[in-house]
Amino acid sequence: MFTSTTFRSYLHLHFLVMIWGFTAIVGLMVSVSPIALVFYRTFLAALGLAVVMLVKKKKFDVTGADLRRMFFVGCILSSHWILFFAAARVSTASVCLAGMATTSLWTSLIEPLVNRRPIKPLEVGLGILAFAGLYVVFRFEFDHALGLGLALASALLAAMFTVANSRLVQRIDAFTITFYEMVGASLFSLLFLIIAESQGWTNNMPVWPQGQDWIWILFLAWICTVYASTMATQLMKQFSAYLINLTINLEPVYGIALAFFYFGEKERMTQGFYMGTVLILLAVLLYPILNGITFQKTTKTT
């Protein structure tokens, strides 16, 4: 069961998810390509984290093996964000965010394989409920199929990223992990940007930010990444990767509300879309309740 301290951490996690819900909106408010946006975000985040770590006197020292692992996870994170912003560009912020609801389903399958534990029926069941919500959404919004596909791929990478971090954070400081992952992500996105520009994959979208682009990019780098990602990694010491990603299913709920507030009728969706988000929300709220009941039954029988 949740203690008062754990409950405060759970509320903190929801606040972080609400911040992430705003990222798809920011992705639509900048002029640069999704690849360039991810490069600037991760590069500036790495600089910001370096300053924070120096002020807090955090250690940069890691083993060569751990450095390679964090760089690799950074590449996964970069790919996740590129697909995430691309999904918003080819469809809408709401469609992109709803696609991220499958993250918990992917996690319920990936985490047991990585941690070598049995798959929990409760996790799979609630993951399927979240996926059912997604099905309802796109039964009424099928014209956004490309955006859905990109969002699903992004969700799979997000699950891989969270599971990998849940293992690293058990022995490495969260600031150190996030710093090296941002370095790895920025290097990967820069290389990908060079290739994309040479092949004409960015549809002549500008590479250099214009005017207010810098404000939103700094928001992504320092609020959504330096603050939110580091705190979320820290919370992995208290919660499982599954609970983290299941709570992240609320990202579309928060994000859709924010998108409608910013973009108005452009983001208004069908009734089926909102019915699907209710199913997603139900899966998120049921997990801590059912998990607590299961924990009590297990305790009584031992």
Per-residue pLDDT of 205-224, as tens digits, reads 889 998 889 999 999 999 98
Burial tier of 183 (Cβ tally within 10 Å: 0-12, 13-18, 19+): buried
In the prediction, which pLDDT does 54 show? 93
The domain containing residue 256 runs over which residues?
4-301
CA distance 177 to 169: 7
Measure Cα distances from 199 to 34, 161, 193, 202, 204 in Å: 15, 28, 10, 8, 11
pLDDT of 144 = 75
HEC assignment per residue over the chain: CCCHHHHHHHHHHHHHHHHHHCHHHHHHHCCCCHHHHHHHHHHHHHHHHHHHHHHCCCCCCCCHHHHHHHHHHHHHHHHHHHHHHHHHHHCCHHHHHHHHHHHHHHHHHHHHHHHCCCCCHHHHHHHHHHHHHHHHHHHHCHHHHHHHHHHHHHHHHHHHHHHHHHHHCCCCCHHHHHHHHHHHHHHHHHHHHHHHHHHCCCCCCCCCCCCCHHHHHHHHHHHHHHHHHHHHHHHCCCCCHHHHHHHHCCHHHHHHHHHHHHHHHHHCCCHHHHHHHHHHHHHHHHHHHHHHHHHHHHHHHC
CB atoms within 10 A of CB 285: 14
Q: Residue-wise pLDDT tens for the chain (302 aa)?
A: 456 778 888 888 888 988 888 888 888 889 899 999 999 999 999 999 999 899 988 889 999 999 999 999 999 999 999 999 999 888 877 778 777 777 777 887 788 888 777 777 877 788 788 778 877 876 766 677 788 889 989 999 999 998 898 888 888 888 899 899 999 999 999 999 999 998 888 877 889 998 889 999 999 999 988 888 778 878 877 887 777 766 776 777 787 777 777 766 665 666 777 787 778 778 766 766 676 676 556 555 55
> What is the reported pLDDT for 38?
96
pLDDT recorded at residue 23: 85
Query: Which class for 74: exposed (0-12), middle (13-18), buried (19 or more C-beta within 10 A)?
Result: buried
* pLDDT computed for residue 75 by the predictor: 97
pLDDT (0 to 100) of residue 11: 87
Structural contact between residues 93 and 100, judged by C-beta atoms closer than 8 angstroms: no
Count of domains observed in the chain: 1
